[in-house]
Homo-oligomer: A and B are copies of this chain.
Amino acid sequence: MKIELAESYGFCFGVKRAIKIAEENKNSSTYGPLIHNSKEIARLEQDYQVGLTDNHTIFKEGEKAIVRTHGIQKHELAELKQNNVDVVDATCPYVTKPQEIAQEMSEAGYSVVIFGDEAHPEIKGVKSYATHGALVVTTSKELEYIKLREKVALIAQTTRKVEDYMEVANYLIPRHKEVRVFNTICNATFENQEAVLNISKMADIMLVIGGKNSSNTKQLFSISHDNCENSYHIEDENDLDYSWFKDKIFCGISAGASTPDWIIQNVIDALQKNIK
């Protein structure tokens, strides 16, 4: 069986940057998982003693708190600073940007609509910056009975599919005097999505490697599955079921932006060892 990696996959700029920050800040703690990959977080804890807490109020004066790549809510950051916690910001700059846009647009009198997952920490963070509130939706249907202002600002979760974003934009534009569409989907997301699209059209089995709660991995899997029915979302080599590969001749591989190369390599090694 031929095994091939997508032309673009895995770690993005923001994740690489966050891991470097964590490695440089031994004996600290992140508030919330630094990235959506538990294996890499376990590595940081073991090799660099970077802990993890899901409560920002437990940080004491002078203690180091690393802010996760997805960012945190505005009031949480304010509280950390108020408590004189030593805040080390590993928020991806591509997430800081929509936070700033949400605040600016809300204060300029626009209705702010965020296209994304309300429960995802990135979106909780971005929404918290909209001074006068924001509406979070995943499809235009959720907008049908909502009264928005004449001027609407539209912001996307960085890891969403652009086609789905356009569906919401296409609903809003004919209905409002002005729709300010901010293309906040990050380039790495675009590149990984385009690459998985291309390889999944050729492969007869696809593996998409990444954390089960990783939004961008789920989007990659969705694109892959649209083009190759035999697509599997796995976290690492332990999730492999070798019966999937019976009679398959071309296995394509992609990985989410928070999936480290060493996990991808483990998967490839396992395949090469177990599949002819």
Contact call A174/B179, Cβ cutoff below 8 A: no
Query: Residue-by-residue, is A158-173 near B (CB-CB < 8 Å gives 1, otherwise 0)?
Result: 0000100110011001
Contact call B178/A174, Cβ cutoff below 8 A: no
Interface size for A (C-beta < 8 A) is 16
Chain copies in the assembled complex: 2
Looking at the assembled complex, report how far the CB atom of A197 sits from the nearest CB atom of chain B, in whole angstroms.
14
A97: nearest chain-B partner, CB-CB:
B177
Q: Roughly how many angstroms separate A177 CA and B158 CA in the complex, as a whole number? A: 12
Q: Roughly how many angstroms separate A177 CA and B182 CA in the complex, as a whole number? A: 6
**CB of A176 within 8 A of chain B?**
yes
**CB of A183 within 8 A of chain B?**
yes
**CB of A181 within 8 A of chain B?**
yes
Contact call B177/A173, Cβ cutoff below 8 A: no
Query: Residue-by-residue, is A45-74 near B (CB-CB < 8 Å gives 1, otherwise 0)?
Result: 000000000000000000000000000000
Contact call A173/B178, Cβ cutoff below 8 A: no
**CB of A180 within 8 A of chain B?**
yes
Contact call A166/B170, Cβ cutoff below 8 A: yes
Contact call A179/B170, Cβ cutoff below 8 A: no
Q: Which of B162, B176, B177, B181 contacts A179 (CB 8 A)?
A: B181
Q: Which of B162, B165, B181, B183 contacts A181 (CB 8 A)?
A: B181
Q: Roughly how many angstroms separate A266 CA and B26 CA in the complex, as a whole number? A: 87
Q: Roughly how many angstroms separate A176 CA and B183 CA in the complex, as a whole number? A: 7
Looking at the assembled complex, report how far the CB atom of A228 sits from the nearest CB atom of chain B, in whole angstroms.
24
Contact call B180/A173, Cβ cutoff below 8 A: no
Looking at the assembled complex, report how far the CB atom of A192 sits from the nearest CB atom of chain B, in whole angstroms.
15
Looking at the assembled complex, report how far the CB atom of A181 sits from the nearest CB atom of chain B, in whole angstroms.
5
What chain B residues lie within 8 Å of A170 (beta carbons)? 166, 169-170
| Residues of A118-177 contacting chain B, CB below 8 A | 162, 165-166, 169-170, 173-177
Q: Which of B169, B176, B178, B183 contacts A169 (CB 8 A)?
A: B169
Q: Roughly how many angstroms separate A162 CA and B171 CA in the complex, as a whole number? A: 12
Looking at the assembled complex, report how far the CB atom of A71 sits from the nearest CB atom of chain B, in whole angstroms.
19
Contact call B174/A162, Cβ cutoff below 8 A: yes
Q: Which of B165, B175, B183 contacts A178 (CB 8 A)?
A: B183
A170: nearest chain-B partner, CB-CB:
B166
What chain B residues lie within 8 Å of A181 (beta carbons)? 169, 173, 178-181
What chain B residues lie within 8 Å of A183 (beta carbons)? 173-179
A-B contact pairs, 24 of them (CB 8 A): A162-B174, A165-B173, A166-B170, A166-B174, A169-B169, A169-B170, A169-B173, A169-B181, A173-B181, A173-B183, A174-B183, A175-B183, A176-B183, A177-B182, A177-B183, A178-B180, A178-B181, A178-B182, A179-B180, A179-B181, A179-B183, A180-B180, A180-B181, A181-B181
